[in-house]
Structure 1
């Protein structure tokens, strides 16, 4: 999941519950690298988890991980956010106790331990205990990505994640929870790290309406990014505008993974 060096103090215990990484497990690693390299201008470095894992880099900064999906893992090709936890075993136990699912792990890696899970609605997410990539922070204008949960009920989802990840708890460094623009927001040090919105349906035929974590990548020009994605075999699924007036487009890569590009403003 990570291959860049970090100081020993940059660990999941310092920012419990905060988004700390996003990754994609693809059916064809080379094809995915070619697509995202063309569409988002990423370069790829070998990851610390072996030849089948890579770290996407933009302007010298780590953005995301892309790995090859092992045939034995029966999971959908999807962009997945990871959240920091001081103890992956404890977090995994809390997920199960609250009717979520732990699909994989916790597994040990060179820099920590991680697990892949889903919440009660079926939205997939990961937990990570260990070393973090320095300066990978969602929520600020230069962030490599930011997150939005499409939930059946944002308040119920906030309770689930809060109990699993110690949101709004007395733990040092924990994230706070607020409410704005009809959404629950996850806040750390005054910055919004993620938004949780209501209205998703697990039976909706439209994949955009199903419960999921939506990963947003900032771009300078949404229209040119959409054209590049379509030329590279991707599909435009939706256009919209944020509360701040930024243009957005929801795209599907050739492997089926959904992601959103958002105009920098």
Structure 2
């Protein structure tokens, strides 16, 4: 499990936000990798990221966009026999409670909850097999800066959007009425999650549970905001990745290791 994400070793700050006051929203994204150096080179070329070490050791790195920590990379896919993939983490006030809720509703806990000061993390799968993480504790650095610099949003491609929204809502406390919780709406045929008025996640139907293609099976897709979608697509191809689909405002890419992600134009947000 890629635990480098929320515990990135940022200096303690007065503006640090805890999952006890903001919960249910995506709070970090992480990537498992087979080759740390190759992964850093790829995302530097495609997204312009810079890097620094993480406190968890030589197999982990923190990605920086304009100096803001935005993602964690862990070269543990081969070592821990894990799939190469991007994973979103959601803020929860209590990791044990969230894991218990997921299990009660047909989900599974792959790893954790485990303690990683200043918090606790777990890697879960929903009842359709889509993998996601939860994080309890301090959010990395300045959470509002992360929200502006990091993904546009995360999108769940799943079998039944409404069924999945009920699962995640009950596990993560969406639309619970508690201060800081996320609100759920239905727009243009998909479920939309908002945090403090911003769209932070979308859920749509259509993925097939037993599909041979990983891009068709239920999964969370990370959307990164960029200024030049065609430029990112060409850079991905040049550095060993591939383009699955592309238009002027969005492109679905695979990195050189096989992990899938989306780049979305800032102008189209």
Q: TM-score, normalised by structure 2?
A: 0.91
Residue 220 of structure 1 deviates from its aligned partner by 0.9
Alpha-carbon distance change, 122 to 137 in structure 1, aligned in 2, over 3 angstroms: farther
From 214, 221, 225, give the equivalent of 1:207. Answer: 214
> Could you tell me which residue of structure 2 aligns to residue 117 of structure 1?
124
Query: 2:134 aligned with 1:132, yes or no?
Result: no
Query: 2:39 aligned with 1:32, yes or no?
Result: yes
Partner Cα distance (2:237, 2:266) in 1: 21
> Could you tell me which residue of structure 1 aligns to residue 261 of structure 2?
259
Partner Cα distance (1:257, 1:53) in 2: 17
> Could you tell me which residue of structure 2 aligns to residue 73 of structure 1?
80
Alpha-carbon distance change, 155 to 139 in structure 1, aligned in 2, over 3 angstroms: farther
Query: 2:9 aligned with 1:3, yes or no?
Result: yes
> Could you tell me which residue of structure 1 aligns to residue 178 of structure 2?
171
Alpha-carbon distance change, 202 to 138 in structure 1, aligned in 2, over 3 angstroms: farther
> Could you tell me which residue of structure 2 aligns to residue 243 of structure 1?
none
* Structure 1 residues 163-211: Cα deviation after superposition (integer angstroms, max 9, x where no partner): 1001011322111111111111111221111111111112223332211
Contact preservation (8 Å) 1:122, 1:212: yes
From 54, 70, 80, give the equivalent of 2:61. Answer: 54
Partner Cα distance (2:144, 2:253) in 1: 23
Residue 61 of structure 1 deviates from its aligned partner by 1.1
Residue 48 of structure 1 deviates from its aligned partner by 2.5
Residue 74 of structure 1 deviates from its aligned partner by 3.2
Alpha-carbon distance change, 137 to 180 in structure 1, aligned in 2, over 3 angstroms: farther
Residue 47 of structure 1 deviates from its aligned partner by 1.2
Contact preservation (8 Å) 2:237, 2:243: yes
Partner Cα distance (2:101, 2:79) in 1: 26
2:215 partner SS: helix
Give the alignment's Cα RMSD to 1 decimal. Answer: 1.8
* Structure 1 residues 115-134: Cα deviation after superposition (integer angstroms, max 9, x where no partner): 11111111110000111024
* Structure 1 residues 27-55: Cα deviation after superposition (integer angstroms, max 9, x where no partner): 11111111111111101111132222111
Contact preservation (8 Å) 2:69, 2:141: no
> Could you tell me which residue of structure 2 aligns to residue 187 of structure 1?
194
> Could you tell me which residue of structure 2 aligns to residue 151 of structure 1?
158
Contact preservation (8 Å) 1:101, 1:119: yes
Consecutive unaligned residues in structure 1, runs of 5 or more: 241-245
Query: 2:252 aligned with 1:250, yes or no?
Result: yes
Partner Cα distance (1:138, 1:91) in 2: 26
Contact preservation (8 Å) 1:137, 1:144: no
Alpha-carbon distance change, 214 to 137 in structure 1, aligned in 2, over 3 angstroms: farther
Residue 149 of structure 1 deviates from its aligned partner by 0.6
Q: How many residues align?
A: 259
Partner Cα distance (2:168, 2:114) in 1: 21
Alpha-carbon distance change, 70 to 252 in structure 1, aligned in 2, over 3 angstroms: closer
